[in-house]
Chains A and B, each alone.
Chain A
């Protein structure tokens, strides 16, 4: 915010475009090591494709395990994009400027990671396209005559919602990228990249008409994308909440609980990403302690709202004093190994981070924000696990069927694959396009004023 120096346009361009023009020294090593992790995970998947889902630890009664947990987790992280880009843009918060594109890119890759988890999870992934309503004419004999997917199933709503979100994210990123692609096109010297960037820039020259459209388009897109913000994770939460046969799932609070959890998880992911980018690309002039301070304050509010919805879920699960539900909650809190996981989850998702974020010094330090936000996401992964698995392991009063679950090596390998994939994707994106939008930062510079009242200088900004 006002801690920025007033930088010249040329400085901004040089700083933010330098990782695009020439790759930083650490780039190929990092991509290599992430690639190794991804390869390890993928080899696990090849093994799973070859032998069957038996290589996972999924079993009767816990038919959903680490893959679905991971799916919900990445959908949660993906809410960062809309939160930071759309909502902060509509509420005209200036501190969003350096971080919008990174948040959107995080969203893009987390959505792809989430969808890949569905692929890993189903029994016959080579038939997964049956969830989509391709007309029987298109893909020939493989399709039964005129059988459509079941619209009543939450597993059909999921791809629709996530697909819509993915499409709008791609549109959003691309629309806001146009001036920056044009900038890169003008700076790049080698022939083939220049051609590719020229094609991608769609002829953006910076004429007044183009800038006018460029200014209105993100606001329109933000407003249009807001219903998606509310609906995507609600629909994913209804995968669980509509099920009557699993204790602890049939609760109406699931939609807001998951959404607020997603904002908590996603904004923490953005903060973590920002700290990482700050360290990797040496962006001290653009990402200031003020940004982390603002994110930290937002996170305190969101985390406390999340704790409230968690409290609501628990208290109304216990309120009817039903034996099966109480037995399930007893198991979650008092029996091993769930009790350790539960305490770990509470501490990492709320108690440690929020107590840290109450202090201004911690909020302003990128290093502390990095570690506390990683803790938050560990906790949120555990939260999804603790919602899905204990409920499934003791589903109904037929105790003859109770079982347990812990993830296998293949599953953990694929979870690691998704993490490596997202980080790798962001780094590759940052290599090709500037990850901090130069035009947004330059716009912010132009909007800044100072109101001098007596001896005090108050930072001011142009309101649209």
Chain B
């Protein structure tokens, strides 16, 4: 069709494109199969995992109570605890970013797994519970602790950084929970209409959703605004965590890149833990029909790119500290990398970069069902080792400094975790999973309304001599 638009005079009518594909919403109802899968009783595997995670969570709580009884004076004792707490915040709470980011970028491939990523929002509660004892671990301001907030006795009021960090965390968790609820609301409505017996819970949770145009429009607006807000809060929380927990005013330790590095590691850990969750849902959850190779491929590509970016953050930090040859910065490198923590450092590099890079670069591994999950486990191990290296070395520092050279007098020994610490780590990993398992009884882990959109907006069409996927871009 020729357009009647004249570019010289800039006048004329624009004519719409011609290849039209007709779809009808009525022909794509919310999948009965999905609703049944969600509503029926969970199998034995679910109950066993629920039991095990509950037991390990209790073990973890016991471990925490042991530590609290031992007192808060010895900072280095608490280093693994802090590592585990930050690990939860970085990995489990980084998973919802995938759903937010792909919604903003209007990608279609993530729709089947977006609910899985949003469900991780609940693990923030576990993180907050773990965080509370730490407030007593950090040295108090009355001891003259230098903080980010320019505490100066007699001159600047002592606004506690604890307050800022706690506020950021609570806001973060509330935003995450709000996002989870907003995204799940249409699903609750579908379940309310299609279930018998559990009506009361779902009608309460759906809060009057009828699916009118106005409600849908406001849903999309809220998702995009809250999603952006979630991202900003993620960066803020990691800034507070990194600067308050890790940056000390000891010479050479202040690393202005570390908050950004930690936020990036959060996203990396989030993608990794999401891949594992998607794999579990695919293999044992019975959702093989809904999660396909496309999702694993997309997540695998993401994990690959993000692992490469990790190297950039690492080298940026390293380059400045290494090149300047300032004595106190060389000491920090000794502590973190080349000294006593060398095995941990090598482990970090191996698990978080070498394995993902060398394996995910192969097309067959990236575009497979088993490849990304195995590498995701490696990334998570590497992430934990990285946290351990930073936090436990910071917490084990002896704070005496030589006056002339401004260097540390003693470099810390490597911290060996005790049995209580292992209990804490087990609990830290299990408690969020336990919460997620409980919540998955009410929130369907494949999003019903997004699955429907995924089917509607994607259409396989004959294109010349081949068949292609045509993807709609609605907004």
Contacts and interface: CB of A to CB of B under 8 A. Distances in A.
B300 to A, nearest CB: 14
Contact of B257 (A3, A91, A252, A459): A252
A319 B243 contact: yes
A255 interface: yes
Interface string A441-464: 000000011111110011111111
A461 B471 contact: yes
B425 to A, nearest CB: 29
Contacts of A2: 17
A316 B5 contact: no
Interface string A1-16: 1111111100100010
Contact of A252 (B2, B146, B239, B317): B317
Secondary structure call for the A interface: mixed
B312 A238 contact: no
B254 A6 contact: no
A464 B468 CA distance: 7
Contact of B260 (A11, A309, A451, A454): A309
Contact of A321 (B8, B146, B256, B324): B146
A137 B425 CA distance: 63
Contacts of A461: 470-471, 473
A449 B470 contact: yes
Interface in A220-273: 227, 230-231, 234, 238, 241-244, 250-256
A242 B105 CA distance: 36
B291 interface: no
B200 interface: no
A319 B468 contact: no
B21 interface: yes
Interface residues of B, number: 62
Interface in B275-331: 308-309, 312-313, 315-317, 319-321, 323-326
Given A242-B319, A320-B254, A460-B470, A451 B17 contact: no
A255 B312 contact: yes
Interface string B216-243: 0000000000000000100100010001
A319 B317 contact: no
Given A5-B15, A244-B326, A320-B249, A452 B312 contact: no
A304 B8 CA distance: 39
A402 to B, nearest CB: 22
A460 B257 contact: no
Given A255-B316, A320-B249, A8 B2 contact: yes
Nearest to B235: A308
Contacts of B23: 451-453
Nearest to B255: A252
A15 B255 CA distance: 54
Contact of B18 (A6, A253, A304, A453): A6
Given A242-B323, A282-B10, A454-B25, A251 B472 contact: no
B470 A319 contact: no
A451 B315 CA distance: 47
Contact of A450 (B10, B21, B232): B21
Contact of A251 (B10, B235, B256, B313): B256
Contact of A449 (B5, B7, B257, B461): B461
Contacts of B243: 315-316, 319
A282 B16 contact: no
B474 interface: yes
A304 B20 CA distance: 39
A451 B457 contact: yes
B14 interface: yes
B461 A7 contact: no
B5 A5 contact: yes
A410 to B, nearest CB: 33
Contacts of B232: 304
A319 B244 CA distance: 11
Interface in B444-475: 456-457, 459, 461, 463, 468-474
A452 B472 CA distance: 10
A284 B7 contact: yes
Closest 9 CB pairs of A and B: A316-B256, A255-B316, A242-B323, A252-B257, A253-B256, A5-B3, A460-B472, A244-B324, A5-B14
19 contacts: A1-B473, A5-B14, A230-B309, A230-B312, A238-B320, A242-B323, A242-B324, A250-B320, A253-B256, A255-B257, A282-B10, A308-B260, A318-B150, A319-B249, A449-B470, A451-B456, A451-B472, A452-B20, A462-B470
Given A450-B17, A460-B470, 9 more contacts: A231-B312, A238-B323, A252-B321, A254-B316, A317-B256, A449-B21, A449-B461, A459-B472, A462-B470
Interface of A: 1-8, 11, 15, 91, 227, 230-231, 234, 238, 241-244, 250-256, 282, 284-285, 304, 308-309, 312-313, 315-321, 448-454, 457-464
